Chain A
């Protein structure tokens, strides 16, 4: 079981859009895939038309009184399942720090990794869609993940975001996730975007060669309530995500 997490401290950079499309592509390749929508806003759940509700709330899941397995919903697509968001996830930091059943790790930063372990026989790939921020949740996600997929808006500031994250992860002892950043919402008409992309791809090894362009079709996902890779598989947008997925397959 390989765990991917889309992460960026910043909001609105394309984390959920990437998680939804990459998970869809993984399942379409025949990998048994699970997406956990960890954001109380429930954007990923919404895109799969699944109600952002977990019986017993986040508390039951994190404490372990309800098995993660029982919260899983099938999406409309073969081999793709989802654990929905829940409004109570907004208190996730508190829950993670609290008591939990069968918590052998004891460390509050390893709880999500521990909860996912029993699913290893059932799924080949897990995607975690994180809310933006630095919190106990995001730290948990970084410890659980094998690969952090980091969307970057092509600005000079984004370089710093990536460097900070790389440094933070380097401080982990034991398991460290691999980082692969990609440019998100890249605008071909903006000279600054093009230059940033070129520079950073030359400088950093962990930046994907495939940028995801800024496209109105991608925005349409919230109207269609489906991954763009599913409802417009031949579009430029879908092709970009497919290239990114292929690159992830090769590099991680």
Chain B
């Protein structure tokens, strides 16, 4: 149930992001958006990796 709640929350958040991006960018400078967006994408997924390790380390710390 909690997962469904989170799912709905995140899904709605994603939809809001899409609508915002659409409103802001009819014929946007998409190349520029791509360069910035790809850079941010690389960094965000890298941050997801860091976060995973932090969680793992914390879990191990709690176990010990």
Q: Answer yes or no: are A and B bound together in one complex.
A: no
